[in-house]
Amino acid sequence: MNTERFYALTEYRFEQEELLRQALTHRSYSRGANNERLEFLGDSILGLVISRQIYARFSEASEGKLSRMRAALVKKQTLAEIALSIGLGEHLLLGGGELKSGGHRRESILADALEAIIAAVYLDGGDEAAERVVLRLYQDRLDALNETMQLKDAKTRLQEYLQSRKMELPDYSVDKTTGQAHEQTFTVSCKLAELGLHSVGRGPSRKQAEQEAARDMLARLKP
């Protein structure tokens, strides 16, 4: 990612461009100057900025509600979605194996790189610069956040719905897996034998496919 493109997306210009390069460097490309340590620091900075924001925005929210809001915003999936939205994957420095296996689209790699960039901004420009970048990247998500939104994942909501009615928990099973090892698609079934209901979910991992199946089941139950 060149510095001009990064500036256009975040309105932050690096003084030390080597920090941006390091943030974009995966360990498969370099065992020395890679983004692992930056990712560690960026995770903490992101958590603090988001915590401050939701604490200020939702003065009546309980600790539990605030924790769920923060978890929804800083989880790997959200980070990867933001990374994809700014085209981060196109600029990552990856080793040959990761390039061939589609590493520039992998959720964990994208999420870690975004956290590394946040840390790089912090080291280059300080607290306020890092906070401005985080808020710019998260603006739409923060504006859409509200205390009544559903923050628990679909599997948890389905489980709680069934437990509250003393019903059997769902059974998840993988129906099939298609595609190459680095670009697989999982098809998962969610069955409620007690109710005779069956839903299907698909995704790039078993976990995501199960969540999709659970969402479909909740739509059928309309809790």
Active site residues: 43, 115
Rounded to 5 degrees, φ, ψ at 39 are -60, -40
CB-based contact 188:209 (threshold 8 Å): yes
Task: Give which of 63, 153, 69 is closest to 161, Cα–Cα.
Answer: 153
Burial per residue of 9-27, b for 16 or more beta-carbon CB atoms within 10 angstroms, e otherwise: bbebebeeeebbbbbbbbe
Q: What span, in angstroms and rounded, lies between the C-alpha atoms of 143 and 147?
A: 12
Task: Give which of 85, 82, 142 is closest to 115, Cα–Cα.
Answer: 82
211, burial (CB in 10 Å: exposed 0-12, middle 13-18, buried 19+): buried
Q: What span, in angstroms and rounded, lies between the C-alpha atoms of 46 and 118?
A: 7
Which residue is listed with tokens 């929804």? 72
Helix axes 3-10, 127-144, angle to 10 degrees: 50
